[in-house]
A and B are shown apart, each in its own frame.
Chain A
Amino acid sequence: MIETLRFWAIVVLLGLGVFFTLVSTIGVLRLPDIYSRAHTASQTDTLGAGFALAAVALAFGWQHAAVYTVLLLFFIFITNPTAAHAIARSAAESGVEPLLAEEGDADGSDTEPTAATDGGDADGGETR
């Protein structure tokens, strides 16, 4: 009974890991900007690797290798968003502009606060 439960838990964890890594790969290949790619690579790939390593740790059971796997999971969980943050910061400091920077700074910031202050607190709270 408990072995069957463990088997299906391993299957579900492996499927979730492959799914989230697939989402991360599609995001890195298809998103238009370095910042959005760093975003999807930091969180989705961390989640996919975490699920796959949890499946490995559950498959090993109570022995030394499971401790190694949990240590590896914790380490990847800490360092992968840190590395993505460092890459995005290096892109920002070396002059890579975000894709929507010109429109957002020139026109959008002028029109949006006036629309927000006109549309205001009274209308926005009641009519919607």
Chain B
Amino acid sequence: MTLESLGLASGVGLEELFLAAATAFVVLAIAMFYRAVAGPTTQDRLLAVNVLGTNTVVILALLAAALDQAWFLDVALIYALLNFLMSIAISKFTVERGGVL
């Protein structure tokens, strides 16, 4: 892992860039919560939660690169699988049974 050898001469390394990008993704995910709360239909909320899950996967991958913890990618992979399964299952159950519960 040669992250320390990369970087600008002004001291801005690659870790700070990945942490800044992860912060931007966190801010955008928090902004997405508005649609998850105030969406008119169930599908609006489901779409917002799906985009939130994708943002979470990207944040986990960025933190894996920034903190040099490669096992975060396993968590991100399983989170992406569960996110896709959640979207498919809820969008199927809202049609066939009128809701999840």
Q: Which residues of A contact B (CB under 8 A)?
A: 3, 6-7, 10-11, 14, 17-18, 21-22, 24-25, 28-29, 34, 37-38, 41, 45-46, 48-49, 52-53, 55-56, 59-61, 63-65, 68-69, 71-72, 75-76, 79-80, 82-84, 86-91, 93-94, 96
Contact = CB atoms under 8 A, between A and B. Distances in A.
A28 to B, nearest CB: 5
Contact of B70 (A49, A65, A79): A65
Contact of B7 (A7, A65, A86): A7
Main secondary structure of the interface of A (DSSP, over half): helix
Nearest to A53: B61
Contacts of B18: 14, 56, 59
A94 B97 CA distance: 10
**Interface size bucket, B side?**
35 or more
Given A29-B34, A56-B61, A72 B91 contact: no
B47 A28 contact: yes
B80 A6 contact: no
B31 A25 contact: yes
24 contacts: A3-B2, A3-B6, A14-B18, A17-B58, A21-B58, A22-B24, A29-B35, A41-B47, A49-B54, A49-B57, A52-B62, A61-B2, A63-B70, A64-B70, A65-B64, A68-B73, A69-B61, A75-B77, A82-B88, A83-B50, A86-B91, A87-B46, A87-B87, A90-B92
| The 10 residue pairs across chains A and B that have the minimum distance between CB atoms | A83-B87, A90-B91, A65-B70, A91-B43, A79-B84, A68-B73, A86-B91, A56-B65, A25-B28, A56-B61
Main secondary structure of the interface of B (DSSP, over half): helix
Nearest to B40: A34
Contacts of A96: 41, 43
Interface in B45-84: 46-48, 50-51, 54-55, 57-58, 61-62, 64-65, 70, 73-74, 76-77, 80-81, 83-84
